[in-house]
Amino acid sequence: MSKVAMLYDASKCTACRGCQVACKQWNDLPGITTSNRGSYENPADLTPATYTRIRFREVEEGGQVKWLFLNWGCLHCTEAACVKVCPTGALKHHPMGFVSFERDLCNGCGYCTQFCPFHIPRTETDVLTGKGKSSKCTMCQDRITNGELPACVKTCPPKALDYGDFDAMVAKGQARVEALKARGFPNANLWGDKFLGGLGRLYVLTEAPEKYGLPTKPSYPWVASIWQDWVQPLAEASFVVGILGTALAWLIVRRNIRMEEVE
Ligand code: SF4
Ligand code: SF4
């Protein structure tokens, strides 16, 4: 297996949100209080306790309203800005291709939240300890590394979610797109296989990506490279220089005191 991926087929999704529930259950995430916003979409956004959710979009076409659903969470980018900027190694590329997360290593700096091109990780700070932690979907790393399906894939009643080898998922997605086109969905397309090195969460869409609120061709945030390759090393270097400077100053003061004592 080269690398793994999940394949979400929006044309099969019924927005039952079983994936949201399965995700919470497997990851032992608490429920959160939300308010009625006049939509079945709930919660309104990802949160530190919500790693995956179904986005609802209403679009009007030919005088008719269409509902577009989208399963949303970490996209497990092959070129992942979060991995690049994480200073502690909490976020890593697993040999299976997904982006793993080790909560214990996270220092809550929030760089992943700032640099992710899809605004996925959520960083929260404990009001009592002042310590922060980030969180995001790990593709159920504890399940898939033991040969199990991700919890959301396992639970999805209409099998709108699939999981397997990246190339196999791309081939399956492309075949589904062709089938949808033949069945009266001329705008059907596969999203996620051709940018950022190929995403670990691929999408079969019935409409153009923009209609789902997705960028057509997301790109790697070059500021992440500058941050990791220049800003952080310089900051570390200036920290070391600062310590050396303080030590040197202390030695000089100590030497002067001794000389005064001798005089
Ligand atoms: S479990 Fe499947 S059908 Fe239900 S909302 Fe999630 S992806 Fe859609
Ligand atoms: S979607 Fe964001 S958090 Fe997920 S792998 Fe890509 S850069 Fe990292």
Does residue 13 have its Cβ closer than 6 Å to ligand 1?
yes
Of 130, 201, 199, residue with least CA distance to 161: 201
Measured from the Cα of 99, ligand 2's closest atom is 5
Which ligand is nearest the CA of 79, by number? 2
* Atom 2 in ligand 2: residue holding the nearest Cα: 116
The reported pLDDT for the residue numbered 180 is 98
* Per-residue confidence (pLDDT) for residue 239, from 0 to 100: 65
For residue 14, give Cα distances in angstroms to 17, 66, 70, 71, 101: 8, 13, 10, 11, 30
Q: For residues 109 and 123, what is the distance between their CA atoms, to the nearest angstrom?
A: 8
Residue 217 pLDDT: 85
* Residue to mutate (ligand 1; options 21, 41, 71; most atoms within 8 A of CB): 71
Distance CA 94, CA 83 (A): 11
* CA gap 96, 229 in Å, rounded: 26
The CA 83 to ligand 1 mean position distance, Å, reads 28
Mean pLDDT, contiguous 10-residue spans, the chain (263 residues): 92 98 97 91 96 94 91 98 96 97 96 96 89 96 98 98 98 98 97 97 97 92 79 70 63 60 55
158 ligand 1 Cβ < 6 A: yes
